[in-house]
């Protein structure tokens, strides 16, 4: 390989080269880095081609080839291949001219020569300098970095960000979330596009004329091809310009901005309530398995999983609102007491699920060898559980919490309908029977964005709770 003066540069000038070499082993980054530095490559490739004649490998290859040509080995191969081609043509009774035979023999001899020379140089440790290796060498040169920084500023920004494994992990998750959101939006739009429901007919009524329906479709772009409508919808989502709904001509972005915080508030409070109750209950049940407390807690959890949320909500309204008059029957933004019943109803099932998962995960952990060793060293039970067992049992619990939170956002419509809450869940349900495509798409996608953010936080918590994940991130 060519020895460059850039190899002697101090370590601070090898930063970009080291990160680039690490990322080039991953194909997605290989493509991304090439595209981000595409303005620089014509310049570097021109230099690479001009300097190729000074390559140690090329010089050694030429000298070794010349040696085999001068000692008659190449001529021997050529003559041997000519005899083989003549014998082959005679056996298959094919007509072949002497010039064709010589040309074929010459090509086969060149291939043999190249294979032999490559093998010799490889055994001697001499490798060809590829363009990627040459470009990587240039990144060690501070003058090259200074000259190409502006044309390839995004390229260098990616290298700087990916130098930190934890930051690279977060960036990759953000990009994956973006892809998921686009996929969800495309899938939802396609389902609505193929739906047998006719928005114009549903809104204008059965007595609407063909001209009125055609005019409605033209105003809202429903007469355009599928790809045009899809592009318009996706571009509106990511520019926060969702347009107006089919029904009521309301601004969709404004409606979602008003309705989504209500659903998010109830879902977060329900989740916090579930975590505060379920994790201690699950730990107690695991520490005292098959005890009275264990049976009691798990029986209550089973009831919580079995109760339909709409039935539980109605029972709560009849009991605590109408009979006892402790809480308002419907949601009122000005009265915080009206949040208590919806939060409890929405959080009941997830509390039961988290409690059962906590118990199961803790039972697996407390029988591990390191827990037994910690007890054998004389640590009391509280320290063993709090410092060793809980931390290692949290990974599956965190996973379940993330999944249940996403389910709460998507399934809050039932609770919102029972308690007359004007949230995003009931908003989507009201719009889906039209179907009001822009409104539904906006609501679903912004729920997907929130779930993606929650999953990103969960992935970060994985690395926080499990040192093995942090170790893998650093080694990757």
Position 4 scores a pLDDT of: 43
pLDDT tens digit string along 2-12? Answer: 444 444 444 44
Residues 328 and 424 reside in one and the same domain: yes
* Nearest Cα to Cα of residue 135 among 165, 155, 157: 155
Structural domain containing residue 36: 10-163
Position 7 scores a pLDDT of 43
Q: Is residue 204 part of a domain?
A: no
Bridge partners of 244? 251
For residue 389, tell me if it sits in a domain.
yes
Note the pLDDT tens digit of each residue in 341-367: 888 888 888 888 888 888 888 888 777
- Nearest-angstrom CA–CA distance, 216 and 210: 10
Q: Is 392 a domain residue?
A: yes
Judged against a pLDDT cut of 80, whether residue 428 lies above it is answered with no
Whether 188 contacts 235, CB under 8 Å = no
Q: What is the DSSP code (8-state) at residue 26?
A: S
Residues 292 and 391 in one domain: yes
128, 163, 198 — which closes off a domain? 163
pLDDT tens profile 65-104 = 777 776 777 777 777 877 787 777 777 767 767 777 778 8
Can you give the pLDDT at residue 438?
A: 78
Q: In this structure, is residue 107 part of a structural domain? A: yes
Give pLDDT tens digits for 372-384.
777 777 777 777 7
Looking at the 3D structure of the chain, how many domains does it have? Answer: 2
- Residue at 387 is within a domain: yes
Average pLDDT estimate for 272-277 = 88
For residues 30 and 131, membership in a common domain is answered with yes
For residue 145, is pLDDT > 60? yes
The predicted pLDDT at position 420 comes to 77
Q: Are residues 270 and 409 in the same domain?
A: yes
Residues contacting 134, CB < 8 A, separation 6+: 44, 48, 51
Say if 214 falls within a structural domain.
no
199/205 Cα distance (integer angstroms) = 10
Q: Are residues 159 and 255 in the same domain?
A: no
Please report the pLDDT score of residue 39 as a whole number: 86
Across 177-186, 302-311, 413-422, 432-441, which has the greatest mean pLDDT? 177-186
Contact 242, 256 (CB under 8 A): yes
Residue 41 has pLDDT above 80, yes or no: yes
Question: Mean pLDDT over residues 126-149, rounded?
Answer: 77
C-beta atoms surrounding 293 within 10 Å: 13
- In this prediction, residue 470 carries a pLDDT of 62
Does residue 13 carry a pLDDT above 70? no
pLDDT of residue 451 exceeding 70, the answer is yes
Better-scored residue on pLDDT, 290 or 272:
272
Identify whether residues 20 and 119 lie together within a single domain. yes
Q: In a 3-state reduction of DSSP, which class is residue 356?
A: helix
In terms of domains, do 404 and 272 share one? yes
| Domain CATH code at residue 345 | 1.10.3720.10
Q: What is the pLDDT of residue 2?
A: 42
Q: Does the pLDDT value for residue 439 go beyond 60?
A: yes
pLDDT for the residue numbered 262: 83
Query: Mean of the pLDDT values across residues 175-180?
Result: 82
Packing angle of the helix pair 226-238, 437-465 (nearest 10 deg): 50
Q: pLDDT, tens digit, for every residue of 277-300?
A: 888 888 888 888 888 887 888 888
What is the predicted pLDDT for the residue at 24? 75
Domain boundary among 163, 178, 195: 163
Q: At residue 272, does pLDDT exceed 80? A: yes
Mean pLDDT of 433-439: 74
For position 1, what pLDDT does the model report? 41
Portion of the chain with pLDDT greater than 70, in percent: 87
Average pLDDT over residues 105-117: 77
Q: For residue 244, give the 3-state DSSP assignment.
A: strand
Say yes or no to pLDDT of 128 above 70: no
Given a contact cutoff of 8 angstroms between Cβ atoms, the answer to whether 354 and 274 are in contact is: yes
What is the DSSP secondary-structure string of 94-143? Answer: ----HHHHHHHHHHHHHHHHHHHHHHHHHHTT-----HHHHHHHHTT-HH
Question: Taking a C-beta distance cutoff of 8 angstroms, is the pair 436, 146 a contact?
Answer: no
Q: What does the DSSP 8-state code read for residue 332?
A: -
Domain identity same for 146 and 21: yes
Both 294 and 152 in one domain: the answer is no
Give the residue ranges of DSSP H helices in 331-389: 340-365, 369-376, 381-383
**Mean predicted lDDT score pLDDT of the chain:** 77
Cα–Cα distance, 44 to 50 (Å, whole number): 10
How many CA atoms, within 13 angstroms, populate the side-chain half-sphere of residue 124?
A: 14
**Do residue 130 and residue 17 come from a single domain?**
yes
> Largest alpha-carbon pair distance within the chain?
109
Q: What is the DSSP string of 86-106?
A: HHHHHHTT----HHHHHHHHH
Mean pLDDT along residues 28-47: 82
Q: Is 37's pLDDT higher than 80?
A: yes
pLDDT at 5: 43
Confidence tier at 122 by pLDDT (50, 70, 90): low
Question: Is there a domain that residue 297 lies in?
Answer: yes
Q: How far is CA 356 from CA 207, 286, 351, in A?
A: 55, 10, 9
Per the CB < 8 A criterion, the answer to whether 77 and 109 are in contact is yes
Do 265 and 155 share a domain, yes or no?
no
Among 148, 163, 178, the domain boundary falls at: 163
**Per the domain annotation, does 177 fall within a domain?**
no
Query: From CA 438, how far away is CA 446, in angstroms rounded?
Result: 12
Predicted local confidence at residue 285, as pLDDT: 84
Task: Indicate whether 318 pLDDT > 70.
Answer: yes
Separation in Å, CA 51 to CA 33, 45, 131, 133: 23, 10, 11, 13
For residue 218, what are the β-bridge partners?
Answer: none
- Mark whether 113 and 257 lie in a shared domain: no
The mean pLDDT of 443-460, rounded to a whole number, is: 79
Nearest to 437 by CA among 183, 181, 188: 188
């Amino acid at each position: 390989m060519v020895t460059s003066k850039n190899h002697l540069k101090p370590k601070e000038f090898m930063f970009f080269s080291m990160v680039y070499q690490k990322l080039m082993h991953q194909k997605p980054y290989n493509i991304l880095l090439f595209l981000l530095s595409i303005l620089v490559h014509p310049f570097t490739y021109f230099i690479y081609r001009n300097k190729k004649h000074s390559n140690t490998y090329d010089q050694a290859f030429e000298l070794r080839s010349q040696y085999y040509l001068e000692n008659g080995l190449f001529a021997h191969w050529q003559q041997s291949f000519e005899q083989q081609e003549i014998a082959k043509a005679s056996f298959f009774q094919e007509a072949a001219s002497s010039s064709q035979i010589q040309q074929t023999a010459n090509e086969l001899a060149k291939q043999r020569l190249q294979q032999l020379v490559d093998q010799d140089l490889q055994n001697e440790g001499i490798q060809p300098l590829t363009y990627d290796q040459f470009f990587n060498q240039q990144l060690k040169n501070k003058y090259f970095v200074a000259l190409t920084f502006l044309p390839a500023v995004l390229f260098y920004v990616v290298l700087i960000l990916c130098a930190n494994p934890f930051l690279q992990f977060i960036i990759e998750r953000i990009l994956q979330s973006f892809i998921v959101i686009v996929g969800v939006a495309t899938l939802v739009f396609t389902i609505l596009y193929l739906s047998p429901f006719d928005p114009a007919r549903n809104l204008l009524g059965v007595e609407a004329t063909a001209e009125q329906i055609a005019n409605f479709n033209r105003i809202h772009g429903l007469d355009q091809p599928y790809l045009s409508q899809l592009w318009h919808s996706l571009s509106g989502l990511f520019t926060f310009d969702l347009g107006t709904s089919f029904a009521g001509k309301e601004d969709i972005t404004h409606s979602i901005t008003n309705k989504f915080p209500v659903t998010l508030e109830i879902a977060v409070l329900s989740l916090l309530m579930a975590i505060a109750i379920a994790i201690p209950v699950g730990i107690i049940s695991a520490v005292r398995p098959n005890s009275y407390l264990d049976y009691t807690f798990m029986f209550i959890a089973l009831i919580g999983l079995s109760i339909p949320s709409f039935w539980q909500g109605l029972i709560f309204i009849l009991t605590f609102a109408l009979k006892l008059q402790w809480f308002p029957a419907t949601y009122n933004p000005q009265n915080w007491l009206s949040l208590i019943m919806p939060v409890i109803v929405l959080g009941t099932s997830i509390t039961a699920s988290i409690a059962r998962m906590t118990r199961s995960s803790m039972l697996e952990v407390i029988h591990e060898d390191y827990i037994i060793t910690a007890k054998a060293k004389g640590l009391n039970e509280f320290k063993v559980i709090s410092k060793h067992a809980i931390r290692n049992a949290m990974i599956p619990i965190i996973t379940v919490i993330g999944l249940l939170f996403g389910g709460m956002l998507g399934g809050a419509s039932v609770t919102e309908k029972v308690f007359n809450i004007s949230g995003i869940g009931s908003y989507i349900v009201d719009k889906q029977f039209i179907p009001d495509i822009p409104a539904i798409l906006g609501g679903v996608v912004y729920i997907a964005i929130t779930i993606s953010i929650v999953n990103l936080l969960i992935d970060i918590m994985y690395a926080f709770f499990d040192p093995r994940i942090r170790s893998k991130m650093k080694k990757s």
